[in-house]
């Protein structure tokens, strides 16, 4: 039986770092929103406000549109390449345009969405303070959490829907990026590994390692050199930055478009 390797991803740019954070939060939000328990819906709103906080730090709509355009410009010339599956290429280019159109139709930034609803606006203000949404702090929230689960799910679906163009565009970008990877088998000798990047730029580094080895990777890169150090897993003793003393086999994927 093949060992299932655990993937670690290291973004090389702030833009991809934000996309990865938002993608994770969107997945968590949608999972919690589909459950029935009040605590799941409480967690869903926590994720909702985390997304608002992340998007306060920049213009994600413009960043995503720029990245979609960059990918389109890269892919479009391949339409004359006989070695490329033209049907798949056309579907991808059409999907990029569809995602661009959907984003262009978004009328308000993610970070401003909660301000359009008084309940969410008040809850957002209280959520930024520790333990400030107890029933005596936010009685309307307490009432909502104890209302019919189907009603809560309907509210969450309505509040989440404006995120969809962002989520779908980010998922497309990350999917294309991950699908365009240079993958090699490697060994970190005594826990340390270096690779000459020869001046190439990569947006995302993926490291796959057997979780039974009980190590985690730390990666750092510039356009010339990639360095990976594996450190031991420990939940009871102080975390160490020292590499393990044994050789660690792993898979390395360098992603870029």
Percent of the chain with pLDDT over 90: 69
Question: What per-residue confidence (pLDDT) applies to 154?
Answer: 97
- Dump pLDDT digits (tens) for 122-171: 999 888 788 888 899 899 999 999 999 999 999 999 999 999 999 999 99
Number of neighbouring beta carbons within 10 Å of residue 187: 9
The CA–CA distances, whole Å, from 60 to 19, 30, 195, 210 equal 9, 20, 32, 35
- Dump pLDDT digits (tens) for 68-110: 999 999 999 988 888 888 899 999 999 999 999 999 998 778 8
Distance CA 174, CA 256 (A): 10
Dig out the tokens for 12 from the structure. Answer: 């090389």
The CA–CA distances, whole Å, from 102 to 6, 107, 168, 169, 185 equal 34, 10, 9, 9, 39
Question: What per-residue confidence (pLDDT) applies to 241?
Answer: 64
10-19, 108-117, 162-171: least confident range: 108-117
Question: What per-residue confidence (pLDDT) applies to 199?
Answer: 81
């Amino acid at each position: 039986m093949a060992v299932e390797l655990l993937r670690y991803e290291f973004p090389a740019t702030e833009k991809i770092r934000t996309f990865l954070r938002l993608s994770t939060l969107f997945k968590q939000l949608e999972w919690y929103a589909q459950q029935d328990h009040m605590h799941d819906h409480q967690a869903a709103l926590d994720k909702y406000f985390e997304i608002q906080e992340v998007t306060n730090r920049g213009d994600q709509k413009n960043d995503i549109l720029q990245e979609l355009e960059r990918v389109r410009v890269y892919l479009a010339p391949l339409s004359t390449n006989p070695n490329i599956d033209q049907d798949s290429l056309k579907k991808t280019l059409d999907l990029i345009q569809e995602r661009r159109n959907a984003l262009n139709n978004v009328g308000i930034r993610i970070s401003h969405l909660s301000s359009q609803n008084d309940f969410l606006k008040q809850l957002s203000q209280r959520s930024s303070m520790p333990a400030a949404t107890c029933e005596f702090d936010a009685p309307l929230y307490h009432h909502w959490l104890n209302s019919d689960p189907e009603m809560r799910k309907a509210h969450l679906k309505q509040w989440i829907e404006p995120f969809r163009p962002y989520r779908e565009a980010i998922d497309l970008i990350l999917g294309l990026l991950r699908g365009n990877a240079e993958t090699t088998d490697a060994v970190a000798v005594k826990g340390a590994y270096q690779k000459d990047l020869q001046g190439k730029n990569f947006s995302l580094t993926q490291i796959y390692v057997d979780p039974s080895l009980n190590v985690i990777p730390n990666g750092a890169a510039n356009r010339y050199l990639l360095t990976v150090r594996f450190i031991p897993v420990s939940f009871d003793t102080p975390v160490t930055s020292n590499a393990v003393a044994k050789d660690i086999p792993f898979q390395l994927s360098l992603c870029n478009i």
